[in-house]
Amino acid sequence: MIEVFNVFNKKTALRKLIAGVACISLALPLTAVNASDDSWPQGPVSFVMHTQAGGSADVFIRTLAESLEPQIGQPIVVINSPGGAGATQMSRLKSANPDGLTLGINTLSHFTGMLTNLNGVFALDDFSWIASTQEDVHIVFANQTSEIDSIDTLINKAKEGSGQVSVGGFGPQGSTQNIAMSMLENATNVEFEWIAYNGTPDIVAAVMGGHVDVGVSNLSALKTFFDAERIQGLGVVADERLASLPNVPTFSEQGVDVDASWIQVRGVFGPEGIPVATQHQIADAFHKAMQTEHYQTYARNAGISDSWMGPEEYTEFASRISEVARAELGR
């Protein structure tokens, strides 16, 4: 891993920030106050995604669309546009008409990316940060038949002189998943070889095909592979075990002390200049659709926590977490 990640420690400001935002999110009402009585602009709503079909964010929007489409009375079109660790998606969004009909799902990697591989290409002010939707923990996993069956065996293999242990995850060094593995490196004094992919399906395929030793992703995209017993969980970055994966221990249970608050956060964003009233309508529609039984069943089965920030809160969150990430990355 690159040297800048060695500044990460268990008492970071980022830990305090995400914990604080979680408390704020729980205190917010389930829908924001409408800034206008006008309806969402009419026409198909395109969601440009930064991952392939089957990625965690892709599964989220396709599942939510089943509740969101009848609510807004217009079709939702999902456009998968992977590439450049989000750069392809962000380019399309940046140049889109700010009418609320072209949107995307973002993750924390969008914020860290603008400080690393996309620095100088995109900035926070290029986009409208509309709403938060999900918090999703990181899971390290291996092929069901792999001899690496725990964090302990993973660390021991990395300490052996027989070669480097490879880890597949989304995005380049500096992505959310990469930082999660960097935390493990720093806590155990080992080094992994990071292999970047464009989405969870590619990560799982690499793990299943023996192209990487282990993978890291989120449960929302891995659940079907766990259910089919094609992969095994080595450890979860969380304070407690997941109800849907009770046999997978946390890092701390295995004697590894990392910041369990380093979670994936997903939200809705769009091009700069979307009217504030329209942003509120979009946030309201999302948060209302997230309350449906259909969506809640998916979210609970996937071990996802809901997040309810509206435009003002999410814009502030984007600014604050970018500053904290800048400090952590030494930028």
279-330, pLDDT tens digit by residue? 999 999 999 999 999 999 999 888 888 999 999 999 999 998 888 677 666 6
Structure token pair of residue 312:
């003002």
* End-to-end CA separation in angstroms for the chain: 16
Q: Do 70 and 298 meet the contact criterion of CB atoms below 8 Å apart? A: no
Query: In a 10 Å sphere around its CB, with 0-12 CB exposed, 13-18 middle and 19+ buried, how is residue 209 labelled?
Result: exposed
The string of DSSP letters for 155-200 reads HHHHHSTT-PEEEEEESSTTSHHHHHHHHHHHHHT--EEEEEESSH
- If DSSP codes are grouped into helix, strand and coil, which group holds residue 116? coil
Question: How does pLDDT run across 190-230, given as a tens digit for each residue?
Answer: 999 999 998 899 999 999 999 999 999 988 889 889 999 99
CB neighbours of residue 24 within 10 Å: 15
Question: How does pLDDT run across 122-171, given as a tens digit for each residue?
Answer: 999 999 999 999 988 999 999 999 999 999 999 999 998 656 899 999 98
Q: What DSSP state is assigned to residue 304? A: P
Q: Indicate whether 273 pLDDT > 60.
A: yes
CB neighbours of residue 243 within 10 Å: 9
